[in-house]
Amino acid sequence: MRYLTAGESHGPGLTTIIEGLPAGMPLLAEDVNKELKRRQGGHGRGARMRIEKDQVQITAGIRHGKTLGAPVAMFVENKDWKHWETVMSIEPVPEKNEKSRRVSRPRPGHADLVGGMKYGHNDMRNVLERSSARETTVRVAAGAVAKKLLHELGIEVAGHVLEIGGTRANLKRAYAVSEIQETSEASPVRCLDEVAAEEMMQKIDDAKKNGDTIGGIVEVVVGGVPAGLGSYVQWDKKLDAKIARAIVSINAFKGAEFGVGFEAARKPGSEVMDEILWSKEDGYTRRTNNLGGFEGGMTNGMPIVVRGVMKPIPTLYKPLQSVDIDSKETFNASVERSDSCAVPAASVVAEAVVAWEVAVAVLEKFDGDRFDTLKKHVEEHRNLTKEF
């Protein structure tokens, strides 16, 4: 299973095409729209979210509420396009209009300058329109489809915010996936700790007031995962490596960790390895989940626990020093409409990309032509690994 996305931030809209879904899987537009709405929420979002009310148009691959086994095409319209029709026109426009919103002052920390150097664009709007986090709209749409597939197989995905601007949630126990879903959804910053959430919101407000931005850490938990997804036999077959790549592919994300993550470097092995247990009812489990559900690049049946770190958004209303690519003189960087903090929204994007990788791993391991056959094979595998 694979997908591509296309579209610019202020173009007519965003498109994704998914290939490789099994035939006969239930899928409705509302399954996708629910996730798109979640991506648009969260304390710290900017004016763009008041303009866009993302709704998906499914234009291929579904008939009467079920997948056909053919590619699924989805389109999300950009409502703001009407204000950018000349600037982002597909057809040539007079030169005076073409330069009306030309960007020649790259933003530090963004793709602007390097993208312009790479592709030879002297107007860096050609870069920033595609490198914008607006593209994650259709990644969330693709992730919504993956989450639907996983849900039908008894696999659930939840995300939440662990830290914003140095304020970290104080979580004294592990939360079930259903708890994370319910509690994070009720929080303006998708945080499970109400006290920390208040402080996070204050820090977001302070950053906005100062023309600044702040980042944070999100965590995704996947429950009900069968053991044996991924493989140890080649480096590129390891599922945790694929998930790490997916996390870091999200705009502004700079790192990923599983389970206790980098803390493992500070602990002895006896406090890191997860002791193996067995019972007739549950089969093989682990006493702890320090390794985040992975051993040897494969799922071990425990919940997947992965975290990603998001840097502050590089678009500042109090812009940093940059260099004009025409004159080579020092100027303040260009300012594009942006959020002061997008960490809560990014947790939804993280859910989507993790769900996608897990769904792909499921379809790599099991027969993916027919959804009814897939469900049967997954259940058979669960029973076999329990009795191993």
173 is in an annotated binding site: no
174 is in an annotated binding site: no
Evaluate whether 334 touches 348 at the Cβ level (below 8 Å).
Answer: no
Amino acid code (one letter) for 289: N
337 is in an annotated binding site: yes
Pure H helices in the chain: 29-39, 48-51, 95-98, 112-119, 125-131, 136-152, 177-185, 194-209, 239-248, 343-365, 371-387
> Which residues lie below 8 Å from residue 345, measured CB to CB, with a gap of 6+?
39, 40, 41, 42, 45, 339
134 is in an annotated binding site: no
Q: What is the C-alpha to C-alpha distance for residues 327 and 324, in angstroms, rounded to an integer?
A: 6
12 is in an annotated binding site: no
Residue 268 CA, distance from chain mean position = 33
251 is in an annotated binding site: yes
Pairing mode of beta strands 283-286, 298-299: unpaired
118 three-class SS: helix
293 is in an annotated binding site: no
Q: What is the C-alpha to C-alpha distance for residues 32 and 28, in angstroms, rounded to an integer?
A: 7
22 is in an annotated binding site: no
45 is in an annotated binding site: yes
131 is in an annotated binding site: yes
Q: Tell me, what DSSP letter sits at residue 289?
A: -
100 is in an annotated binding site: no
Evaluate whether 334 touches 319 at the Cβ level (below 8 Å).
Answer: yes
Q: What is the C-alpha to C-alpha distance for residues 150 and 384, in angstroms, rounded to an integer?
A: 20
26 is in an annotated binding site: no
Evaluate whether 228 touches 234 at the Cβ level (below 8 Å).
Answer: no
Tokens of 37: 């709405």
CB atoms within 10 A of CB 26: 14
Evaluate whether 73 touches 102 at the Cβ level (below 8 Å).
Answer: no
Tokens of 171: 């979580």
Q: Which parts are annotated binding residues?
A: 39, 45, 130-132, 251-252, 296, 311-315, 337
Q: Which parts are annotated binding residues for NADP(+)?
A: 39, 45
Q: Which parts are annotated binding residues for FMN?
A: 130-132, 251-252, 296, 311-315, 337
